[in-house]
Chain A
Amino acid sequence: MTISHSSIVEKAADATARATPASFARQVRGLSDRAIAWLFIAPAITLLLAINIFPLIWAVYLSFTNYRANRPNAPIQNVGLGNYERVLNDPDIWQAMQTTAHFVFWTILLQTVIGFALAYLIDRKFRGHAFWTTIILIPMMLSPAVVGNFWRFLYEPQIGLFAYAVSLVSGIPTSDVQMLGNVSLAPWAIVIVDTWMWTPYVMLICLAGLRSIPDYIYEAAEVDRASPWRQFWSITVPMALPFIMLAVLFRGIENFKMFDMVTLLTGGGPGSVTEVASITLKRAAFESWATGRASAFAIVLFVAVFGLANIYVRALNKVKQR
C-alpha cells in the first residue's frame, strides 16, 4: 500500500496540533501575521543588534574618551572631540588614507577593465569556455594568507618566478627586481596581487550581467545593421553597467579594508609606503592600545566608506532606472 505525500503531511500536522498545549495554540492563533513575522525575525534582529549595532555605538562612545584597553582599571575621561582632532591632524593617518586611496583606485580600475574583458571573452562560449572559467576563478577561491605567502615567494629576487620573468623580458638582473623592498615598486606589487586574486570576482559579476542581456536585442540590432562595435557600446556596456557598478562597489568596500595581504607581503613597508588605513588602525588599537583614538579613527573611516558608498548607490540606482 502506498501512502500519499499529502496524507503524511496531514498526519504530521495533526500530531503537531495535538502536541501543542492548548493555551499556546490559543495565543498563537490570537497573533496577527505581522506579530508572527516579528516573532520569527526577532532572534536575527537581536543578534544583529548585539553583534553589529552595539559595538558601533560603543565605539562611538569610546571615541570621545581616553580609554585604553590595556589599562582597564584607569579612570575613563571624556576628551570631547580631542581624539577626532588628533586623528584628522595626524600626517601619518593622512598618508595611510592616501595609500589606501591609491590601492582602491588602481585595483578597481584594473580589476574592472580586465574582469569585464574576461567576462566578454568567456561569454562568447568558445570551446572549453567552462574549463577556462573554472581555471580563472581559482585565485579568488584561495585564502588571502595563502595568496600573500605564495606571491612573497614569487616576488623573491633570487628564486621567484616573477623576478625571473621580468629579467627574461627586460634583461635586468633578477637580483635587481626587488618588488617588495623597493619604495616605488612595493605599492604596485600589492596592486598586482590583489588584481590577480579578485579580477575573477569582477569577471563573474560582469558575466552575470552579460548573460542577462536578451538575445533578441542583438538580433534586432543586427536587423538594423548595427556594427559589432556599435552593438558593444550601445547595448552591451549600458545593459551590463549596473552589474559592473555593483562589482566596483563590492571591491571598493573590500579594498578599503585591505589588511591581510599587505601585512603578509610587506608589513606596511618599506618605510610606510604600503601602510594602508587598516594597518594603521590595527596598530593604534591593538599594539599601542590607544583604544579611544583608534575608535575615533574607525568612525572616521566608517563615515568615509558609508558616505561614499551611499553616494555611489544613488548613482547605481539612477543607472538601473534608465
Chain B
Amino acid sequence: MQKTSKALLGLATAFVMSSALPNLAKADELTLCWAAWDPANALVELSKDFTAKTGTQMKFEFVPWTSYADRFLNELNSHGKLCDLIIGDSQWIGGSAENGHYVKLNDFFDKEGIKMDDFVPATVVGYSEWPKNTPNYWALPAMGDVVGWTYRKDWFEKPELQKEFKAKYGHDLAAPKTYDELKHIAEFFQKREIDGKTVYGASIYTERGSEGITMGVTNVLYDWGFQYDNPKKPYEMEGFVNSDDAVKGLEFYKSLYDCCTPPGSSNVYMVESADAFKSGQVAMQMNFAFTWPGLYKDEKVGGDRIGFFPNPAEKAHFAQLGGQGISVVSYSDKREAALSYIKWFAQPEVQAKWWELGGFSCLNSVVNAPDFAKSQPYAQAFLDSMAIVKDFWAEPSYASLLQAMQKRVHNYVVAGNGTAKEALDGLVKDWSDIFKDDGKI
C-alpha cells in the first residue's frame, strides 16, 4: 500500500514538474507575429529596448505577405498559442473581435492611462475599433500605412522634358494633384526613351490572388465618389457601390492600366510595383508608404532621384488605408507580459524611435511634432496621406467581400470583360449575397 502511494506521489510530482517546467522556461519570452517586411526588421531592433528594460526575450514569427493572412488567420481560428502578440491586418479587426481572437483592451487602456485620443483618429478607427466608430478597442495602432505614390524626380526635372510636357499639356511636369494630371504624366512617359532605355508611365496594383487590385482600385474609386454603402442605411449598396461616379472611377483605372503601365503588369502588387520602380522602368508607382524608406535608400533610384506624393484628388480626396494595430491574442498564456509590451510600445519616446528606425508611428505627439514633416523626405507625403484615409470593409466576412471585388474588378480592368457598370453591378449582387448569408440584410 505504502509502495503504491509513493509511486502515485512520484508520478504526480513528475506530471506537475513536466507540465510546469516549460511554462517557467517560456515565461520570459513573448512571441510576436507579423508579416515579413522592412518594418518588421525595424521592430526587431526597437524591441531590444523592451528586452533590456524588462528582461523578456522577444521571439518573432514573420510570414511573407503572400501567406500572412492564411497563416495567421488559421492560427487564430484554431486557437493556437503560437502568437502572444499579433500585428494583424486592419480588415481582421471585425472577425477577430467577434470571434474572440483578440483581448479587448478598453480596461487595460483605462488602467494604464493609454488614451486613444493620443493617436491619429483615422488609425484608431482603422486599426483598433470594432464596431467602427464606437469606443471598443481591440488593438493599439502600431504601423500607419497608406497607399501613395513615388515618382522619378530626376526625370521630372529634366529641362527638355519639362518644356515638352508644358507645351503638350499646358501645365508643369510636377507631382500631380489631380488624376487628369497623373494620367497626362503617365501618357507622357509611356514608351519614352530615357538614358537609352524604354520607360513606362506608371505601375499600379493589378494583383488577382490576394487583395492587390482591390487596394489599387479603391484608392482611385474613393476619389470619384464610390462609397461602400449608404451612410444613412448600412449595407444598402445599390447606387453607392455602382453609382455613375464609381463607374467613371473604375473606367479611369482601366484606362490607366491600358494606356500607361509596363508590359506584363497583369499581376502587380507591392513587391512587383516597387521592383518596377527600382529597376527604372516607370516614372511613377502606386505603393504603400512602408516601401518609401527602402526606396529612398536605394542606390539607383533613391536619394535626390525620388519624390513622394499623396493620392491625387478628383471629386473627393481619399487614399486607401493600409497598416495594422497590435493586439494581444486571447489564447496566449502570457497575457500580462503581452500587455506590458503594448504598454511599453505606446510610450511617446518608443514611438519616436519607432519612426526613426523605419516604422510608421500613429502617435499624434510623433506625427504632429514641429520637425516631423522635415524628419524624412517622405514624412510630409505620409502626413498628407494619413489625413485622407479610407479603409475596405472590416466586417467579419471581409475576406469573402474582398474575393468578390478581386474577381469583379480584375475581370474588367485586366481581362477586359464586360463594362465597368456590369462589374460594379455584379459586385453589389455578390456583396448583398454575403451580407444576406451573415444575416445583416
* Chain B associates with chain A: yes
Which of A's residues lie within 8 Å of B, judged by CB? Answer: 69-73, 155-158, 160, 174-176, 178, 180-181, 183, 263, 266-273, 283, 286-290
Interface positions of B from 67 to 108, Cβ below 8 Å from A: 69-70, 73-74, 77, 79, 95, 98-100
Instruction: Decide: A269 near B267, CB < 8 A? Known: A69-B77, A183-B416, A289-B77.
Output: yes
What are 17 of the A-B contact pairs (CB < 8 Å)?
Answer: A70-B99, A72-B99, A155-B264, A156-B264, A158-B264, A178-B263, A180-B264, A180-B267, A181-B265, A263-B209, A266-B208, A269-B209, A269-B415, A272-B407, A286-B70, A287-B69, A287-B400
| Cα-based distance from A290 to B433 in the complex (angstroms) | 13
Instruction: Decide: A271 near B397, CB < 8 A? Known: A70-B99, A157-B264, A289-B77.
Output: no
Listed residue (A180, A267, A268, A289) with the most chain B CB atoms within 10 angstroms of its CB = A267
| Cα-based distance from A287 to B406 in the complex (angstroms) | 13
Q: Answer whether residue B364 sits at the interface, using C-beta atoms and an 8 A cutoff.
A: no
Task: Assess the B266–A180 pair: CB atoms within 8 A.
Answer: yes
| Cα-based distance from A77 to B90 in the complex (angstroms) | 30
Listed residue (B73, B263, B407, B415) with the most chain A CB atoms within 10 angstroms of its CB = B263
**Smallest CB gap from B66: residue in A:** A263
Give per-residue flags for B373-412: 1 if the beta carbon is below 8 A from chain A beta carbons, else 0. 0000000000000000000000011011011000100111
Q: Kindly list chain A residues whose C-beta atoms are within 8 Å of the C-beta of B245.
A: none
Partner of B267, one of A73, A267, A272, A287: A267
Give per-residue flags for B231-246: 1 if the beta carbon is below 8 A from chain A beta carbons, else 0. 0000000000000000
Q: Kindly list chain B residues whose C-beta atoms are within 8 Å of the C-beta of A283.
A: 403
Instruction: Decide: A287 near B399, CB < 8 A? Known: A157-B263, A178-B263, A271-B417.
Output: yes
Q: Answer whether residue B129 sits at the interface, using C-beta atoms and an 8 A cutoff.
A: no
Task: Assess the A158–B262 pair: CB atoms within 8 A.
Answer: yes
Q: Kindly list chain A residues whose C-beta atoms are within 8 Å of the C-beta of B264.
A: 155-158, 160, 178, 180-181
| Cα-based distance from A169 to B402 in the complex (angstroms) | 41
Would you give the shortest CB distance from B254 to chain A, in whole angstroms?
12
Q: Kindly list chain A residues whose C-beta atoms are within 8 Å of the C-beta of B77.
A: 69-70, 72, 289
Q: Answer whether residue B270 sits at the interface, using C-beta atoms and an 8 A cutoff.
A: no
Task: Assess the A290–B400 pair: CB atoms within 8 A.
Answer: yes
**Smallest CB gap from A268: residue in B:** B208
Task: Assess the B100–A270 pair: CB atoms within 8 A.
Answer: no
Task: Assess the B267–A181 pair: CB atoms within 8 A.
Answer: yes
Q: For this complex, into which size category does the number of interface residues on chain B fall?
A: 35 or more
Would you give the shortest CB distance from A223 to chain B, in whole angstroms?
60
Q: Answer whether residue B339 sits at the interface, using C-beta atoms and an 8 A cutoff.
A: no
Instruction: Decide: A287 near B410, CB < 8 A? Known: A183-B415, A266-B208, A269-B415.
Output: no
Task: Assess the A178–B209 pair: CB atoms within 8 A.
Answer: no
| Cα-based distance from A290 to B77 in the complex (angstroms) | 13
- Given contacts A271-B407, A286-B73, A288-B397, could you give 12 more A-B pairs where the C-beta distance is less than 8 Å? A70-B77, A72-B79, A73-B100, A155-B264, A158-B281, A175-B263, A180-B266, A183-B416, A270-B414, A271-B414, A272-B415, A287-B402
Task: Assess the B263–A270 pair: CB atoms within 8 A.
Answer: no
Task: Assess the A267–B70 pair: CB atoms within 8 A.
Answer: no
The list of the 6 closest CB pairs from A to B, nearest first, reads: A181-B266, A267-B209, A271-B415, A269-B208, A271-B411, A175-B263
Q: Kindly list chain A residues whose C-beta atoms are within 8 Å of the C-beta of B396.
A: 70-71
Q: Kindly list chain B residues whose C-beta atoms are within 8 Å of the C-beta of A270.
A: 208, 266, 410-411, 414-415
**Smallest CB gap from B417: residue in A:** A271
Task: Assess the B263–A70 pair: CB atoms within 8 A.
Answer: no
Task: Assess the A73–B99 pair: CB atoms within 8 A.
Answer: yes
Task: Assess the B263–A158 pair: CB atoms within 8 A.
Answer: yes
Task: Assess the B399–A289 pair: CB atoms within 8 A.
Answer: yes
Task: Assess the A273–B415 pair: CB atoms within 8 A.
Answer: yes
Interface positions of B from 396 to 441, Cβ below 8 Å from A: 396-397, 399-400, 402-403, 407, 410-412, 414-417
Task: Assess the B399–A183 pair: CB atoms within 8 A.
Answer: no
Q: Kindly list chain A residues whose C-beta atoms are within 8 Å of the C-beta of B399.
A: 287-289
Listed residue (B95, B396, B402, B415) with the most chain A CB atoms within 10 angstroms of its CB = B415
Interface positions of B from 201 to 257, Cβ below 8 Å from A: 207-210
| Cα-based distance from A290 to B95 in the complex (angstroms) | 14
| Cα-based distance from A286 to B373 in the complex (angstroms) | 42
